[in-house]
């Protein structure tokens, strides 16, 4: 019997599209399977302490420690073999934990066949994929599940001498059947992947193993939303996966969903492009869209230029004003950006104050310096010092095979400027941001005060 092991880092309250596609592909072939549901085992905002240690600490998680990291076992159930195991990785820490689980499986059942896939794999570099393949009999990158199943189910126990990495560069090649899984209050629907812009300096997209951009057929997206709503009318949060929509694709998707019925709720993400206007906002609202996430990252043109965002403050403000009143608007901000000046931060405070009444929620994130990003590859150019032994700004852990690159500023005064700025932003965002974001910033402050 095939065993499907879900992501540990996905939300317990959300049904992920990856699980739907996996079970649909397996069921279509008549393969007997069971599901080991690990969702919610590791919280995004409350990870195990080993995931937020400084790289100078002896217990810091790194890929070479997978075989010795006994602490991970507390988060992993026993896998009953000896049938093949298919691991689904939603976020990159899943790759590390699933690798540990694969090691445990092979210790107990030496001939067991294990495979891993999922969207976390598409974000890894060729070097990281090669390392990952040491722990699994198959690593498959992309969304065509059938290719992986062809290989996996064709293996006999103990017959795999080589450990391949399979690539597919198309969207999922099966139709999802949402009746095969438990539909929770939140559901993710695959609507595409990839970014047409892909030039933000904090993004690792240029180094990724799979950089294709796909938009799923608007009609198929609408059909999925209708299927979910019919199966469970109490679903309140359907999120589409594509976060870099073109205007054409976004409007066509909204039109297709509207044809299926405006009572189908969904959330969508897109850039604050010049084409975001009130007509688009009305179209989205009429189609059943209830929330839009805008990854603004900054509200000052000079900070946006440092980030390489490719939009202006005017674009962002215009988009927020257009959307306000029609949908719930969430704005993402990236904090602790290097190379900024105090007056730029004051400008950002003023801009946020001018739009705070039309924004429903703010998500302030500490800058993640990711392997493969321009910030990481040219750190000194941007005023970033990597692998600091005394303190580091980054407190996140969701990219790369293990922890993100710990870093701090070349100019130590920058940290003080940002901490003061964060205090002002916190005051501005009262009632509009969750406390865990500011708690992470406080942990940075506490490390410095020691």
Query: Mean pLDDT throughout 219-234?
Result: 95
3-class secondary-structure state, position 291: strand
Point out the least confidently predicted range of 178-187, 402-411, 437-446. 402-411
Q: Does pLDDT of 157 surpass 80? A: no
Per-range mean pLDDT, top range of 38-47, 164-173, 197-206: 197-206
pLDDT digits (tens, 9 = 90+) for 89-110: 998 888 889 999 999 999 999 9
Q: Is the pLDDT of residue 5 over 60?
A: yes
Domain spans of the chain, in order of start? 2-167, 189-449
Q: How many CB atoms lie within 10 A of CB 92?
A: 24
Whether the link from the prior residue into 300 is cis, omega within 30° of 0, is no
State the pLDDT at residue 15.
Answer: 96
pLDDT at 371 over 90: no
Range of weakest confidence among 15-29, 273-287, 364-378, 384-398 = 384-398
47 band by pLDDT with thresholds 50, 70 and 90: confident
Decide which of 8 and 61 is more confident. 8
Q: In the prediction, which pLDDT does 168 show? A: 80
Over 70: is that where the pLDDT of 396 sits? no
pLDDT: which is higher, 248 or 395: 248
- pLDDT of 397 higher than 70: no
> Phi/psi of residue 4, each to 5°?
-105, 120
Token pair of 254, please? Answer: 């909204």
Task: Determine the Cα–Cα distance for residues 400 and 62; give it in Å rounded to an integer.
Answer: 10
CA distance 201 to 130: 25
Span 171-191, average pLDDT: 93
CATH number belonging to the domain at 189-449, selected among 3.40.1440.10, 3.30.70.60, 2.40.30.10, 3.20.20.70 = 3.20.20.70
Mean pLDDT of 363-392: 85
Fold (CATH) for 2-167: Rossmann fold (3.40.50)
| pLDDT tens-digit readout, 48-76 | 877 766 555 555 555 566 888 788 899 99
Residue 57 has a pLDDT of 55
**In this structure, are residues 167 and 117 in contact, taking their beta carbons and an 8 Å threshold?**
no
- Mean pLDDT score across all residues of the chain: 88
313 with 354: CB under 8 angstroms?
no
What confidence tier does 302 reach under pLDDT thresholds 50, 70, 90? very high
Helical pair 435-449 and 413-428, crossing angle rounded to 10 deg: 150
Q: Are 384 and 375 in contact (CB under 8 A)?
A: yes
Between CA 350 and CA 132 the distance in angstroms is 46
pLDDT reading at 170 higher than 50: yes
């Amino acid at each position: 019997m095939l065993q499907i092991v879900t992501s540990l880092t996905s939300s317990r309250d959300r049904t992920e599209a990856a699980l739907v596609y996996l079970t649909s592909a397996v069921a279509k072939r008549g393969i007997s399977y069971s599901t080991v549901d690990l969702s919610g085992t590791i919280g995004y905002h409350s990870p195990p302490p080993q995931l937020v240690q400084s790289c100078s600490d002896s217990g810091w998680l790194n890929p070479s420690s997978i075989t010795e990291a006994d602490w991970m076992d507390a988060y992993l159930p026993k896998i009953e073999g000896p049938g093949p195991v298919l691991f689904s990785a939603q976020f990159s820490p899943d790759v590390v934990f699933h690798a540990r689980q694969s090691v445990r499986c092979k210790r107990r059942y030496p001939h067991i066949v294990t495979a891993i896939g999922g969207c976390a794999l598409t974000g890894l570099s060729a070097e990281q994929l090669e390392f990952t393949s040491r722990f699994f009999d198959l690593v498959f990158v992309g969304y065509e599940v059938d290719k992986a199943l062809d290989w996996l189910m064709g293996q006999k126990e103990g017959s795999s001498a080589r450990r391949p990495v399979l690539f597919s560069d198309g969207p999922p090649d099966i139709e999802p059947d949402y009746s095969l899984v438990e539909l929770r209050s939140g559901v993710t629907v695959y609507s595409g992947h990839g970014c047409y812009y892909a030039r933000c300096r904090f993004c690792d997209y240029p180094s990724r193993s799979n950089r294709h951009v796909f938009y799923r057929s608007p009609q198929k997206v609408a059909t999925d939303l209708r299927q979910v709503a019919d199966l469970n009318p109490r679903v309140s949060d359907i999120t589409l996966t594509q976060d870099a929509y073109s205007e054409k694709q976004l409007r066509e998707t909204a039109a297709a969903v509207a044809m299926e019925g405006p009572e189908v709720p969904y959330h969508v993400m897109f850039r604050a492009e010049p084409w975001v206007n009130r007509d688009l906002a009305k179209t989205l609202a009429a189609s059943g869209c209830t929330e839009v996430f805008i990854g603004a990252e900054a509200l000052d043109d000079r900070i946006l230029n440092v980030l390489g965002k490719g939009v202006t403050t005017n674009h962002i403000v215009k988009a927020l004003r257009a959307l306000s009143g029609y949908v719930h608007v969430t704005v993402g901000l990236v904090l602790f950006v290097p190379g900024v000046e105090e007056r730029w931060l004051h400008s950002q405070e003023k801009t946020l104050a001018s739009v705070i009444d039309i924004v429903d929620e703010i998500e302030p994130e500490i800058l993640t310096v990711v392997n493969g990003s321009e910030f990481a590859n040219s750190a000194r150019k941007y005023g970033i010092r990597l692998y600091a032994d005394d303190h580091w700004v980054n407190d996140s852990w969701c990219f790369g095979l293990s922890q993100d690159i710990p870093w701090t500023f070349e100019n130590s005064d920058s940290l003080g400027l940002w901490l003061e700025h964060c205090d002002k932003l916190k005051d501005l965002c009262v009632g509009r941001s969750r406390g865990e974001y500011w708690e992470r910033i406080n942990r940075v402050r506490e490390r410095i005060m020691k």
